[in-house]
Structures are given as C-alpha cells and as structure tokens.
Amino acid sequence: MQKLTLLGATGSIGASTLDVIQRHPERFSLWAVSAHRQLERLAEIITKYQPAVAVVADAAGADRLATLLAGVSHACLIRHGAEALCEIASAPQVDTVMAAIVGAAGLAPTLAAARAGKRVLLANKESLVMSGDILLEAVRSSGATLLPIDSEHNAVFQSLPDGFPHGLDGAGVRRILLTASGGPFRIAPLESLHAVTPEQAVAHPNWVMGRKISVDSATMMNKGLEVIEAHWLFGVGADRIDVVVHPQSVIHSMVEYADGSVIAQLGNPDMRTPIAHALAYPERIESGVASLDFMRLAGLCFEAPDLRRFPCLRLAYEALKAGGTASAILNAANEEAVAAFLDRRLGFTGIAHVVEACLDALGADAADCLDSVLAADARAREQATTLIAARMH
Ligand code: NAD
Ligand code: MG
C-alpha cells in the first residue's frame, strides 16, 4: 500500500489524482491533503477519502474547515500554514508526495519531500524552474525518486531507456522535442492579442487546467517553463531541446536518437495518464482514460513556434541560457503578471513586456542556495508590481 500526501488536492491535477487513486483502493491510500482556500471542496474530499491530516492556508481557514467537517465521523487533524505543508510532505508515514500546488508556493514543500527521500511526483514545474540545481541535489543526496507529471516530460521519460542511468549522451539521444498545442491564440490576428480577456485566455482548446497554467499556455510561457524543466530533469542543454507546435495534443513529446529514430508517447490529452504512469511506475495501471481512436483523428499537424507571437517562449530560452537566478526572476515576474492579467490590471501582451523588463532590470546571481533564489523571487515580484502599476496610468 502506497501512502500519499496530495499537495494541491482541490486543483485540476488534484482532481485527476483523486480520480486515479479511487480506482485502486488496494494500492493507494491518502494520508494527507492540502488546499489553499477552496474549503468546501476540501471538506468533500476529506469526507470521501478520509485522510489523517489536512492543511489549509491560515487559522481562519482551519476553523472554517472544522465547522464544515463537524458531524463527520472520522477524525482528521486540521493544520495550517507553510510549515505544516512541509511537514505533511516529509512525514515518515508517507511514501509518495504529489506536488500539485501552483506556483512558487509549491517550492518549499516539494523540496521538503525531496530532502526526506520521498517518491516525488512533480506537477509543480515552477519549483524546478526556480531552483533546479537545489531540488536535484536534494533528490540525489536523500535518494528520493523524482517522476515527471507534466505530460510532455512524462512522455519524454517514457520515450527514454529505463532510468537512462548514463545520461542522455550515454543513451544516444540527439535531442528532445517538446510538443506544444499553441494555445487558443495560435492563429488569432496578432493585432487582436492586446485585447484578449481572461475568459478567452483560460479557454484552452485541448486541456482543462487551472487558471494560471491556462494563461501560461496562451502566452506559451508554459512551454518556456517546460524547456527549463526539461533541462533539469534530463540534464540537457537548451540547444538540444526543441519546441514543435502540434495543435492536436495527441503526441505528448518525443525523443530523437543518434540513429535518426524518433520515439514518441501518444494518447488522449488527459492528465490521468501521466499521473497513473508515475503513481504505478514501473508498473502500468488503469487510469480511466479512453483508448486513442486513430480512426477519428483528422490528422496530425506540426509547425514551428512563432516567437513574435509568443515572446515569452524566447524569454524563457534566454533565461535558461543566462543561468543562475534568471529563471527564478522569469518565473516570479510571470506569476505577478499573470495574476494582474487575471485581475484585469494588465493587458495580455503586457505579460511578456513585464517579464522582459524585469529580466533586463535585474541581474542574475548564482542560484546555489535557497536564500539567493528566494531573494531573486522577491526582487522580481517587487519590480513587476511597480511596472504593472506604472502601466495602468
Ligand atoms: P489549480 O489552480 O487547479 O490548483 C492549484 C492547487 O494549489 C489548489 O489545490 C490550490 O488550493 C493550491 N494552491 C494555490 N495557491 C496556493 C498557495 N499559495 N499555497 C498553497 N497551496 C496553494 O492548478 P493546476 O492546474 O492543478 O496546476 C498545479 C500545478 O501542476 C502547476 O504547477 C501546473 O503548472 C502543473 N501542471 C498542471 C497541469 C494541468 O493539466 N492542470 C499540467 C501540467 C502541469
Ligand atoms: Mg505540460
């Protein structure tokens, strides 16, 4: 029986994870869950899955959750705050941690799980983007296992030889091809992009996801973050990670080998596939995802990403090449800009402008300790906030 902590239980990845584990009650049990503010949803999850511990944002949330759970027979310990998140991620009772909090808030608990030697299922790509070196060092020194949930990285992982113990060169890999849907504005007139609304931006053509990652998909910052994520997960330079726009989202990514072979992973666009893969790895289990119906696929198309349309993808490549804390600056500026866009305080095309201005204004330092990463994150948020306020006038 694998005992799990599910960080971000009320989110989109959280829901898909719960759906997979309820199909296999003999294999998985939920020991702890966390959520930020959606307490009604969290109370439903606790009632159904009966975890021993739940963590919410603050004391008021904990009181409210206790009220919602009054009369529920089983006892769930309710805790709150960032420290408690790290504790449920590293507790000795837990084998596996699903890191599915969105944004930089996921870094500390993900790192705690890695340091405690857990099997870490990584959906929270932002933590690798911010501090890839530190997170991987924690994995190495504790003997933790890091398995990618992001569909592209899970596809690459599945297309590589088992464990690829000798690195990508030893495995004869020429390059990694990350596929991208191109999001909702792939062919929208360029001059219409400045007027895009949050509702239009979060309406992704193929995937149902949280609001932040949906906006990232619309700007293609998501693919940029994924390039950086691939760099850390697979130990490969930016020059060997290519992005291919593939609007159908059927091929989830590919690996090209020295002999010209290309190995891809295909399937319906449903996150339950990578989640089930990582939960059961190296075995295979039912995920609830339907068979891919080849007879109904109209065709598979491919094109190069347009960096004029999607400047965020260029900025992410530049941050990866710059190294150090540049990726942490990119990530933090983007989080602030996306939040402002969703709040209607910033236009859609303003997101890339704010991120680029932050990268230009703030020099990157070495990202060798958590303090310097967190300092870069804080400086970038301050800079972005100032820029966003200035753009409003
Ligand atoms: P979501 O917005 O649907 O859910 C986010 C979860 O994090 C919620 O449970 C929320 O309560 C919690 N949360 C939010 N802010 C928090 C904070 N400050 N402190 C603690 N908890 C907080 O997001 P999602 O779409 O499920 O994405 C989660 C992560 O997985 C992101 O890093 C995203 O990039 C990654 N991811 C998602 C998908 C997808 O299909 N949704 C695919 C690949 C990767
Ligand atoms: Mg992805």
213 touches ligand 1 (CB under 6 Å): yes
Exposure letters 223-246 (e unless 16+ CB within 10 A, then b): bbbbbbbbbbbbebebebbbbebb
For residues 30-56, average pLDDT: 97
Angle between helices 221-234 and 151-159 (to 10 degrees): 40
101 touches ligand 1 (CB under 6 Å): yes
Indicate the domain borders of the chain: 2-148, 156-296, 323-392
207 touches ligand 1 (CB under 6 Å): yes
Cβ contact 283:298 at 8 Å: no
Please report which confidence band the pLDDT of residue 71 belongs to, taking 50, 70 and 90 as the band edges. Answer: confident
Residue nearest to atom 39 of ligand 1 (CA): 209
Q: Which of 52, 102, 53, 57 is nearest to 83 (CA)?
A: 57
12 touches ligand 1 (CB under 6 Å): yes
Return the amino acid letter for 43. Answer: A
pLDDT of residue 97: 98
Q: For strands 119-122 and 145-148, give the pairing.
A: parallel
Please report which confidence band the pLDDT of residue 74 belongs to, taking 50, 70 and 90 as the band edges. Answer: confident
Domains 2-148 and 323-392 equal at CATH topology level: no
Residue 150, both tokens: 């992001």
pLDDT of residue 393: 55
271 touches ligand 1 (CB under 6 Å): yes
105 touches ligand 1 (CB under 6 Å): yes
Tens-place pLDDT, residues 15-40 = 999 999 999 999 999 999 999 999 99
CATH fold group of domain 323-392: Rna Polymerase Sigma Factor; Chain: A (1.10.1740)
pLDDT of residue 202: 95
pTM of the predicted model, to two decimals?
0.97
148 touches ligand 1 (CB under 6 Å): no
Ligand 1 centroid, distance to 268 Cα (angstroms): 21
Ligand 1 centroid, distance to 391 Cα (angstroms): 28
Q: Which of 114, 90, 110, 118 is nearest to 32 (CA)?
A: 90
Give domain 2-148's CATH architecture: 3-Layer(aba) Sandwich (3.40)
Angle between helices 221-234 and 350-361 (to 10 degrees): 50
Please report which confidence band the pLDDT of residue 392 belongs to, taking 50, 70 and 90 as the band edges. Answer: low
| Stretch (H or E) spanning 255 | strand 251-257
Ligand 2 centroid, distance to 74 Cα (angstroms): 37
102 touches ligand 1 (CB under 6 Å): yes
Residue nearest to atom 7 of ligand 1 (CA): 101
Q: Which of 25, 66, 21 is nearest to 43 (CA)?
A: 66
For residues 96-119, average pLDDT: 98
Ligand 2 centroid, distance to 239 Cα (angstroms): 20
| Stretch (H or E) spanning 146 | strand 145-148
Tens-place pLDDT, residues 141-167 = 999 999 999 999 999 999 999 877 678
Tens-place pLDDT, residues 324-374 = 999 999 999 999 999 999 999 999 999 999 999 999 999 899 988 999 999
d(CA 341, CA 346): 5
Rounded mean pLDDT of the chain?
A: 96
Tens-place pLDDT, residues 226-274 = 999 999 999 999 999 999 999 999 999 999 999 999 999 999 999 999 9
d(CA 389, CA 372): 26
- Check pLDDT > 70 for residue 45: yes
Specify the length of the chain in residues: 393
Residue nearest to atom 32 of ligand 1 (CA): 124
Question: Which residue matches tokens 């319906």?
Answer: 268
Please report which confidence band the pLDDT of residue 4 belongs to, taking 50, 70 and 90 as the band edges. Answer: very high
Q: What angle do CA 324, 169, 244 make, to 5 degrees?
A: 70
pLDDT of residue 353: 97
State how far the alpha carbon of 379 is from the alpha carbons of 128, 351, 365, 384, in Å. 19, 17, 12, 9
State how far the alpha carbon of 10 is from the alpha carbons of 6, 35, 312, 340, in Å. 9, 6, 28, 22
The CB density around residue 145, as the number of other CB atoms within 10 Å, is 15
159 touches ligand 1 (CB under 6 Å): no
Identify which of 10, 12, 207, 275 to mutate to test ligand 1's pocket (most ligand atoms within 8 A of the CB): 12
